[in-house]
Amino acid sequence: MLERTGRQVERVNRALAWIELLVCQFLVAGFALLLLVNVTLRYVFSAPLYYAEETAIYMLIWMTYLAAAAAIARGDMVALTILTDKLPLRLQQGLKVVVNLLIAAMCAVLLDATITWLNAPGTAFDLALTLGLPKRPFYAIMAIFFALVCLHALAHVFLGGLRLLNGQPEPASPDLGASS
């Protein structure tokens, strides 16, 4: 029963990370296209898109948060392991579970704070200058990021705990099918 649940958790975690990377790829393409069109309009026709820079900044912010969440899902974040590499394998696995539990707890607290901030009256009136749109949808990436990282960390806790109970080794970073 736990094995099947573990496979389902693994599948959902990978699918979520794959979606994050797919959205990043669309954002990168849109970002490049937007800047190319804006440069062409500016220097060829002397008629730049007045909102291009601000839109590009928001696209870059969204890409950064989503790519970081996907990297956490894959276990590709930078880690200082000089001390933990000296420990026995089972203790290393146990520490990874504890670290991921702490990450999930921290992200849950930050998610709550972000949602409180997004719902604050002052945030409702904050407008993107050139777009004339409320910034709340652009700021929402922070809440999305903390929710995604919390889910990925909890998946790592469950899967790591399952491997620890079964005496299985840690797998290599999963291939999510995204091009590097």
3-state secondary structure 113-166: HHHHHHCCHHHHCCECCCCCCECHHHHHHHHHHHHHHHHHHHHHHHHHHHHHHH
- CA angle 96/75/98 to nearest 5° reads 15
Question: Looking at residue 84, what is its pLDDT?
Answer: 87
Question: Looking at residue 140, what is its pLDDT?
Answer: 95
pLDDT digits (tens, 9 = 90+) for 24-35: 999 999 999 999
Residue 24's Cβ-count burial label (10 Å; 0-12, 13-18, 19+) is: buried
* Cα(116)–Cα(142) distance, integer angstroms: 12
Please say whether the beta carbons of 160 and 152 come within 8 A: no
CA distances from 176 to 19, 39, 144, 172 (A): 10, 34, 20, 12
Place of tokens 């649940």: 5
Question: Looking at residue 180, what is its pLDDT?
Answer: 44
Residues lower than pLDDT 70 in the chain: 172-180
* Cα(152)–Cα(160) distance, integer angstroms: 12
pLDDT digits (tens, 9 = 90+) for 94-125: 999 999 999 999 999 999 999 999 999 888 78
Q: Give the number of other CB atoms < 10 A from CB of residue 15.
A: 12
**What residues contact residue 155 under an 8 Å CB cut-off, 6+ apart?**
9, 10, 12, 13, 73
